[in-house]
Chains A and B, each alone.
Chain A
């Protein structure tokens, strides 16, 4: 598969503030690519640059091997589903969806059929004459998708299209979008700050923070091999501790030496060590590689989420067996559950659950990510 879109060294500042800093990104044809990051990290700006609504200060935007920086939006084979849908309020559903076809000078006779086909695809048959301002959020969103797809673009840009929907509808629409993407073979560039959404829908995830790409990879790569503390913390739950690489496959942290599977570091290089809560086994203290005291237990349905104090550092562990608060327990970690990362500017800022409060986490699902990061010093 070849690259349909490339961003080469794209930078953008607003009012002297750097919003995108030398973004390099290759997007392959027919892929579902997600830009993921906390609020304000530059996702929308990246999308707008591809759509042609924002001009980059520096760098090249390549489409099918040709530089398109100076091509106006109406000549780009790219269509957009806007963050707030941006449906034309003075037109009904039919006219909104047909707008692109009329602009493309499609023969008049062909238009009604294609609009009907599109509305069928998004399950809105029979809504042609409806006033768009009176539709529900989910319906408006589907009109926006139909309107953007009708010109059969090579690339569809979607800016948090599910942000305004409730959880149930969001899950349904996630499946729906994935299906549409498979059926049409259109490249999707999808923006979200919901990591679960990104993990479940994408072929490739681009993790961004502060206008810089932190990591590009498949969902499994991003989850299993995060490149730094920011990514490890942003995607799922992580315990991130300071460690020292003694030699290949031997790492020391929390006062113990562990066998791991990573190598290629210098001798005694300080590193960040990531261990996912679900990869830690709770064992009898005598059999534990680490020992600590349980400080909190939360029932999560099919597992318990416990916080364990190990020498002052609080670990999060998921276990299926009940453990009492204040219990003294041992932890056992398999070598392949230990992931080693190079030190970065995000080291020490994430991955300690000593200030962790479960209430914040469960309060509002999609915004959890933001709140957590606004607390931390990394996004300022």
Chain B
């Protein structure tokens, strides 16, 4: 490294140390010590041993997986449609779909709540057409809807990028060689879009696993995710227990990002992105 590049990287180094390394070390310290400062695995083991935590973890994984699958299921066909549009319309529609990203997160949640409430928009419509009311607010379903709504743009963008980058002549070549539209999708388009799909999955699954805000706002305290328990511990000043749980959560996040990274490399998809 030249002298200049050391100077230039200085602020970033400070950032990394101050805002990433130190907080992580703090969590690690609290997670692996007891209130007297002695080294222990008690926090981590205790967290795993508590059946309430295990239940929350299961619920979290289920919710995150469902949200990811639904986002992908919605985003992929949409991305295919978007690539077929004319250039001008294309950017307009993409803009529309990612517009929610620009809106304040709290406002989004409040708005969704107003829609889902027992006396909200959905039930007003249902009553109007003579159907019975649905109880959605403060349920698992409400949190799921919130997650899908909030994370959808993060799935759409990478998937759309990957799909739209596929050279049309690769599709033509596949058809030329005798593959019909379905087989072309199976053997050519989908494998070529995998890097985008995987980064979409990562972008949705990881924040979903560590979420507590959506569950809090749309679950009405009835949906306890692992993130909520961590948050509760910290607000109650139980830093050691909270950090122990946070370490488990981090292990899951790391595991899932490692898995998806491996997938991307095995499919040889990395090349297409670069």
Q: Residues on A close to B: CB < 8 A?
A: 51-53, 72-74, 78-80, 82-84, 86-90, 99-100, 103-104, 131, 133, 147-148, 151
Take A88-B188, A90-B267 as given contacts and tell me if A100 and B272 are in contact as well, using a CB distance cutoff of 8 Å: no
| CB nearest neighbor in B for A83 | B169
Whether the Cβ atoms of B170 and A151 lie closer than 8 Å is no
Whether the Cβ atoms of A89 and B192 lie closer than 8 Å is yes
Whether the Cβ atoms of B178 and A74 lie closer than 8 Å is yes
Whether the Cβ atoms of B175 and A86 lie closer than 8 Å is no
Q: Which residues in B have their C-beta under 8 angstroms from that of A148?
A: 176-177
Minimum distance in angstroms from B43 CB to a CB of chain A: 45
A147 to B267, CA, bound (A): 21
| CB nearest neighbor in A for B269 | A90
Q: Which residues in B have their C-beta under 8 angstroms from that of A78?
A: 176
Minimum distance in angstroms from A149 CB to a CB of chain B: 11
Take A86-B170, A90-B269, A133-B271 as given contacts and tell me if A72 and B177 are in contact as well, using a CB distance cutoff of 8 Å: no
Q: Which residues in B have their C-beta under 8 angstroms from that of A72?
A: 175, 180
- 20 A–B contact pairs at CB < 8 A? A53-B175, A53-B176, A72-B180, A73-B175, A74-B176, A79-B176, A84-B169, A86-B169, A89-B271, A90-B271, A90-B272, A99-B179, A99-B187, A100-B178, A103-B179, A133-B271, A147-B177, A148-B176, A148-B177, A151-B177
A83 to B167, CA, bound (A): 12
Q: Which residues in A have their C-beta under 8 angstroms from that of B174?
A: 88, 99
B183 within 8 Å of A (CB atoms): yes
A15 to B172, CA, bound (A): 21
Q: Mark B2-20, 1 if CB is under 8 A from A, else 0.
A: 0000000000000000000
Q: Which residues in B have their C-beta under 8 angstroms from that of A82?
A: 169, 172-173
Contacts beyond the supplied A52-B176, A74-B177: 19 A-B pairs with Cβ under 8 Å: A73-B172, A74-B175, A74-B176, A74-B178, A78-B176, A79-B177, A80-B176, A84-B169, A86-B172, A88-B170, A88-B174, A89-B170, A89-B268, A90-B268, A90-B271, A99-B177, A131-B268, A147-B173, A148-B176
The listed residue (A80, A86, A133) touching B167 by CB distance below 8 A is A86
Minimum distance in angstroms from B269 CB to a CB of chain A: 7
Interface centre among B170, B177, B179, B269, by most chain A C-beta atoms within 10 angstroms, is: B177
B207 within 8 Å of A (CB atoms): no
Whether the Cβ atoms of A73 and B271 lie closer than 8 Å is no
Take A73-B172, A80-B172, A82-B172 as given contacts and tell me if A90 and B178 are in contact as well, using a CB distance cutoff of 8 Å: no
Q: Mark B83-95, 1 if CB is under 8 A from A, else 0.
A: 0000000000000
A151 to B173, CA, bound (A): 13
Whether the Cβ atoms of A151 and B172 lie closer than 8 Å is no
Within 8 A of A (CB), among B228-274: 267-269, 271-272
Whether the Cβ atoms of A90 and B176 lie closer than 8 Å is no
B58 within 8 Å of A (CB atoms): no
Minimum distance in angstroms from B212 CB to a CB of chain A: 39
Using C-beta atoms within 8 Å of the partner chain, give the interface range for chain B.
20 to 34
B191 within 8 Å of A (CB atoms): yes
Whether the Cβ atoms of A74 and B173 lie closer than 8 Å is no
Q: Which residues in B have their C-beta under 8 angstroms from that of A79?
A: 176-177
Q: Residues on B close to A: CB < 8 A?
A: 167, 169-170, 172-180, 183, 187-188, 191-192, 267-269, 271-272
Q: Which residues in A have their C-beta under 8 angstroms from that of B192?
A: 89-90
Minimum distance in angstroms from B144 CB to a CB of chain A: 33
Q: Which residues in A have their C-beta under 8 angstroms from that of B177?
A: 74, 79, 99-100, 103, 147-148, 151
Take A104-B178, A151-B177 as given contacts and tell me if A90 and B191 are in contact as well, using a CB distance cutoff of 8 Å: yes
Take A82-B169, A103-B183 as given contacts and tell me if A89 and B176 are in contact as well, using a CB distance cutoff of 8 Å: no
Whether the Cβ atoms of A151 and B188 lie closer than 8 Å is no
Interface centre among B167, B170, B272, by most chain A C-beta atoms within 10 angstroms, is: B170
A49 to B83, CA, bound (A): 22
Minimum distance in angstroms from A145 CB to a CB of chain B: 13
A78 to B175, CA, bound (A): 11
Q: Which residues in A have their C-beta under 8 angstroms from that of B269?
A: 90
A42 to B204, CA, bound (A): 46
The listed residue (B169, B179, B268, B271) touching A74 by CB distance below 8 A is B179
Minimum distance in angstroms from A133 CB to a CB of chain B: 6
Interface centre among A51, A52, A79, A99, by most chain B C-beta atoms within 10 angstroms, is: A99
Whether the Cβ atoms of B169 and A73 lie closer than 8 Å is no
Whether the Cβ atoms of B178 and A151 lie closer than 8 Å is yes
Q: Which residues in A have their C-beta under 8 angstroms from that of B180?
A: 72, 74
A73 to B178, CA, bound (A): 7
| CB nearest neighbor in A for B179 | A103
Minimum distance in angstroms from A146 CB to a CB of chain B: 12
Q: Which residues in B have their C-beta under 8 angstroms from that of A74?
A: 175-180
Q: Which residues in B have their C-beta under 8 angstroms from that of A51?
A: 172, 176
A80 to B192, CA, bound (A): 21
Whether the Cβ atoms of B172 and A53 lie closer than 8 Å is yes
Please give me the 4 A-B residue pairs with the lowest Cβ-Cβ distance, nearest first. A103-B178, A100-B177, A86-B169, A86-B173
Q: Which residues in A have their C-beta under 8 angstroms from that of B175?
A: 52-53, 72-74
Minimum distance in angstroms from A99 CB to a CB of chain B: 5
A259 to B173, CA, bound (A): 55
Minimum distance in angstroms from A16 CB to a CB of chain B: 14
Q: Which residues in A have their C-beta under 8 angstroms from that of B172?
A: 51, 53, 73, 80, 82, 86
| CB nearest neighbor in B for A82 | B169
Q: Which residues in A have their C-beta under 8 angstroms from that of B178?
A: 74, 100, 103-104, 151
A109 to B70, CA, bound (A): 41
A53 to B172, CA, bound (A): 7
Whether the Cβ atoms of A80 and B267 lie closer than 8 Å is no
Q: Which residues in B have their C-beta under 8 angstroms from that of A100?
A: 177-178
| CB nearest neighbor in A for B172 | A53
A72 to B183, CA, bound (A): 14
The listed residue (B173, B183, B267) touching A88 by CB distance below 8 A is B173
